[in-house]
Amino acid sequence: MGNTTDFSGTPLEKLAGDGMFRHFRPLYKGTLIANVNMDRGRGNRLIAEGLADLVAFGRAYIANPDLVQRFAENAPLAEVDWETVYASGPRGYSDYPTYQPSQDNRGSWLFPCLSLRPSRNYQPHADWRNHEPHWKHHLHYRRRIGCIGRALAEELHKRGNRVIISGRRKSHLDAVAKANPGIEAIELDIADPDTIKAVAKKLIAEHPDLNVLINNAGIMEPDQAAGVIDDRLLVSTVTTNLLGPIRLTSALVDHLKSRRGVILYNTSVLAFVPLAVTAVYSATKAALHSYVLSQRFLLRDSGVRVLEVAPPWVRTELMNSQEAEQAMRLDRFIAETLDVLGTDANEILVEAAKPLRANPGPEEHALVNGFNQQMLKLFGPSQA
């Protein structure tokens, strides 16, 4: 249903535009199919608002036999050649070309500590391990040259993706870009709301095909939950680990909706089994996990996937873990993570992370206490 007549100045004027659907939806409980002057955005909105159950596309299908693929990739639509409509012969029916984007018109990913973007061939459940695309990688790190974000960015770059890193320190960004020819960099302070808004606006303008955001920013410092918490540590950890990812995602979420994109957060198994000597860090990761669950629910019908990577203990510069035998090797973690990203999973868990992820429940204190007793032996009693 849809109006093809101009109702202006008539008693039916209220039925113009979406008024037709708003009027009949409460009256008709069957399957309501919307048509007439439909495009991808309007159709998705009518379904999201509950004003229609299905959407029919007529003219768009004539000129775009690959309409479903074009909608999935948010590709431009071909125009109808009206001189050939209702004519005899195949011209205007079977000779419209399928979409062939240029090599420079591919999708993108953004990373805070990591942000990415896949090729135009990206599909929500596609194999992320061997993408051809540009990747846009926002790498925000703090004295963490061996961080997960950089390792993932470099691996994706090696696999033929274009990567853009970002962070506060230009010297660090330049060093990474120099070590990986082809990686680009953009400065961003994840703790500054105004900078986040400005960088998001710049990214959307310069990379309109951006369709994946990976939030990987994070700092981890020992604290004293049994005593007086250093306020500088508290504010900087919460701002970087929790507020920064939420703010950046908020600045880009509407754009990602238009791209049917992906938002990925890097949390931690410490969201489920907190490390007592880094109580604030663990709390920020638990809070971010909770936010992920809410956002995934609210975006469930938007076409945007919300994913979460929860790493176990990995050999990085966090807590000086580069040589920790009990920690997972960084290269192995990256390889396993990319394997899981090639599945339909919403939580990206390597095998070493699964026992801790499964811990929350009525008896969770036993593992939390045992885990922290073991970690105190590793870090030393001075951390207690």
Active site residues: 281
Q: Is residue 59 within 8 Å of 82, Cβ to Cβ? A: no
Which structure tokens are listed for 8?
């202006």
Amino acid at 38: M
Amino acid at 257: K
Diameter over CA atoms, the chain: 86
Give helix 244-258 / helix 279-298 axis angle, nearest 10°.
Answer: 20
Q: Is residue 220 within 8 Å of 319, Cβ to Cβ? A: yes
CA nearest to 64, candidates 47, 46, 76, 50: 76
Amino acid at 84: T
CA dihedral 102, 104, 108, 113 (to 10 degrees): 170
How far is the C-alpha of 248 from the C-alpha of 257, rounded, in Å? 14
CA dihedral 370, 372, 375, 379 (to 10 degrees): -150
How far is the C-alpha of 377 from the C-alpha of 384, rounded, in Å? 10
Output the CA angle 127-133-138, nearest 5 degrees.
100
